[in-house]
Structure 1
């Protein structure tokens, strides 16, 4: 009898658990390159949009037999230490073609790769007529997050194109940047930072698209880190554009939902009106039941000038997978004015590595808040780095399986759990009562 009761209770609880863990909001085919023991893929935005957990704990990889296979998930980095600033040398290149600096341009290349000024070169400030500057970052113990170009001008506004190279021959184009320095009533608004997005290169070339500034000094922001901490640094940053922000209850508040479990580390706030300067605070939270958490404060601007429109660079925050965000504008300067605020959110996608155990086709399931993460450390599943590893991609969405019917709301799941537990408890109490009655009856007969 006891065994029967225990079996009944376990069966009821198991059926409840299976109803929650078999469901996936989305299933995707995995397209594989070649035949390998391991496959690595970068998670697209469709996976983040379907996930119901901020840590992607509801991601699973299955083989053709429907069996889950081991996988690792790299991308959620721990909070990085503050970058260090280091002064660097730069060299004026008074020519539109700075791809091959040489002694004719006043620059020589030493055997260790460092750049040195020839007698005719000027390494401080920017000479009249200079169209480009070449910067030697030196040997970095880490990655280059950004350049800080300190302007000597009292007032400056201009655009600059940015290229990076490891050998002065092959150049990689980076997004254009804008530098700004304006003053009013004793206050100064500056934008002297050029993002390099964690590059590991030796040289950076700045080509001035407008008039060249007077440069007082240049620093590079160096972010120390090892391979594990930057596992997804090579994955290009993805952006979700056109996220609409709606006015909140308080004046100057704007609310928006990212629409997925994206690990947002960049925010681009598109101001509705030109010639706007506003001080803002940024908050986030996972849901409406959680208090707001302040992430950062910043000055936003959108200014018209002789060289075109100048806007602030994207705001940087620690990777944050909260869906709900709030922009609180300091209204003492008039706020943002009329018009709609739109937002673009950027993130570094996670890199998933799985073991190709079993037969194809392999699939990926995601979207079940009842699941918890089973991702392993990469070093625990990739036994030998020299083993066969190939690329994979998240392909087309697959039709839902029978068990993938829409999951009940959380309140319904909790109610179901209570009903199952109460039923099991009533059965157990009834069984114990029956056993006690039998014992009492046997004793009376004896």
Structure 2
């Protein structure tokens, strides 16, 4: 009886004793790929920019499946972060520029025109007159003179032109010349401006980038082109500024048509890139289309619409015009969907699509000896939990007293291979099995004890009866 009691106590302890899960520390052979990091001696921290190959292999949007190992194969603490876009001084000034139309007689070629320009003591243009003596009704505008003297000392980066609503549809080239004395002129750029309507969309291309500009500017256009009736000119001028901003990387996506859905295209970006800019351009020349971009493989419920707008590829006098790059909400999605909602031109080929993204940076504590190993790509490692994260945050991006050494990882090589990127098959629920086995053993033990006790009681009763007899 005593032995059964002890056994029952042991079983009871097994029932209430927690079965602690065991997590082995990640090792390099738990990751698909790696890159070697060579470091110079003398630094406690090192920082690197995550390469494209890392985003193409990681399985977590939070980049939890990467580690830094030292030469002894031990994990060293690291932190992944997005660099700040720091602007220390306002970088752009906008100013409306005075402009003066230059006119010639309607029947004149415009090659010869006498211009009288009056300036004040500061060099600001106060009046412009043409010397042909013709009434204004018989004149045509052939160019515009712009006065940017008030922005002297600031570098004009672009001009924004606004013009009258007539004609409603307009596209043309603008020649931009620059001068410091109103006598000697040099051509600095040619820009294309446009105002076009397409269904519910409107294409407004009103900005001309400028490489360099003097105190005065002159705008003109090719002979035979419609006259531009300006209503406003705005100059954007850059001032001295300091920006700490990561460079954008552009990655071209694979775009495949969906066979049973015309105008629908699957997009494979190849990895979990933190994309927040896009360029979408149709391959066909002189084509326009209204499109919607989703993050996901279908336009059904559950996928996020990221952008809708007009894409175009227009040829104007040998110059190709494309829609500009567009900002979108930052999304770490590998697969996307593009649908053509409205198009009166043939879109027979998948459009070219590029995604713009800024890579994360990784800072790590150089414990142990180098070279170090950046290992990444795994579905079987836990989320990292380093106790020195506040320390790493203090010194990232050179913000602390100790400046981290900047390093560049070497080429990618295979560790355990792409099998580490496959979903891990569900493991057997050993804890549940052990619990049920323990419960069953307890029930059987109690049953055996009950049977034994019953038999002992039966024997005792028989013995008592025989003694009474």
TM range (shorter): 0.5 to 0.7
Aligned counterpart in structure 1 of residue 72 of structure 2, from 65, 74, 91: 65
Name 2:110's counterpart in structure 1: none
1:218 aligns with 2:234: yes
Name 1:425's counterpart in structure 2: 435
Aligned partner of residue 415 in structure 2, secondary structure: coil
Distance in 1 (alpha carbons) for counterparts of 2:339 and 2:26: 42
- Number of corresponding residues: 375
Cα pair 1:262 1:321 within 8 Å, conserved: yes
Name 1:82's counterpart in structure 2: none
1:284 aligns with 2:300: no
Distance in 2 (alpha carbons) for counterparts of 1:147 and 1:268: 21
Q: Residues 381-400 of structure 1 correspond to what in structure 2 (within 5 A)? A: 382=395, 385-400=400-415
1:60–1:187 distance in 2 versus 1, CA, 3 Å: closer
Name 1:14's counterpart in structure 2: 22
Quote the RMSD (CA, aligned, Å): 5.1
Q: Post-superposition shift, 1:246?
A: 2.3
1:311-330 alpha-carbon deviations (Å, 9 max, x no partner): 11122211111111111111
Distance in 2 (alpha carbons) for counterparts of 1:22 and 1:129: 69
Cα pair 1:24 1:365 within 8 Å, conserved: yes
Q: 5+ residue gaps in structure 1? A: 79-84, 93-105, 108-115, 140-145, 162-175, 197-202
Distance in 2 (alpha carbons) for counterparts of 1:429 and 1:257: 51
Name 2:204's counterpart in structure 1: 190
1:413 aligns with 2:425: yes
Name 1:339's counterpart in structure 2: 349
Name 2:50's counterpart in structure 1: 43
Q: 5+ residue gaps in structure 2? A: 1-9, 86-91, 100-117, 128-140, 177-189, 223-227, 458-469
Name 1:27's counterpart in structure 2: 34
Larger radius of gyration: 2
Distance in 1 (alpha carbons) for counterparts of 2:286 and 2:73: 58
Cα pair 2:46 2:363 within 8 Å, conserved: yes
Cα pair 1:39 1:392 within 8 Å, conserved: yes
Larger deviation, residues 264-273 vs 212-221: 212-221
1:369-392 alpha-carbon deviations (Å, 9 max, x no partner): 444354746764539712142111
Distance in 2 (alpha carbons) for counterparts of 1:9 and 1:268: 54
Q: Post-superposition shift, 1:40?
A: 1.2
Distance in 2 (alpha carbons) for counterparts of 1:387 and 1:303: 53
Q: Residues 153-168 of structure 1 correspond to what in structure 2 (within 5 A)? A: 155-158=170-173
1:257-310 alpha-carbon deviations (Å, 9 max, x no partner): 111010111222231211111111111038999821111111101101115111
Aligned counterpart in structure 2 of residue 258 of structure 1, from 269, 288, 306: 269
Distance in 2 (alpha carbons) for counterparts of 1:442 and 1:134: 111
Q: Post-superposition shift, 1:6?
A: 8.3
Distance in 2 (alpha carbons) for counterparts of 1:34 and 1:241: 38
Distance in 1 (alpha carbons) for counterparts of 2:64 and 2:368: 23
Distance in 2 (alpha carbons) for counterparts of 1:253 and 1:120: 56
Cα pair 1:148 1:193 within 8 Å, conserved: yes
Distance in 1 (alpha carbons) for counterparts of 2:149 and 2:64: 45
Cα pair 1:47 1:366 within 8 Å, conserved: yes
Cα pair 2:264 2:339 within 8 Å, conserved: yes
Q: Post-superposition shift, 1:150?
A: 4.1
Aligned counterpart in structure 2 of residue 237 of structure 1, from 241, 245, 248: 248
1:241–1:428 distance in 2 versus 1, CA, 3 Å: same
Q: Residues 254-403 of structure 1 correspond to what in structure 2 (within 5 A)? A: 254-285=265-296, 291-331=302-342, 333-334=343-344, 336-370=346-380, 371-372=382-383, 374=385, 376=389, 380=393, 382=395, 385-400=400-415
Distance in 2 (alpha carbons) for counterparts of 1:243 and 1:335: 23
Cα pair 2:43 2:404 within 8 Å, conserved: yes
Name 2:133's counterpart in structure 1: none
Aligned partner of residue 382 in structure 1, secondary structure: helix
Distance in 2 (alpha carbons) for counterparts of 1:340 and 1:347: 22
Cα pair 2:14 2:438 within 8 Å, conserved: no
Q: Post-superposition shift, 1:129?
A: 7.8
TM-score by length of 2: 0.63
Cα pair 2:143 2:221 within 8 Å, conserved: no
Distance in 2 (alpha carbons) for counterparts of 1:423 and 1:20: 29
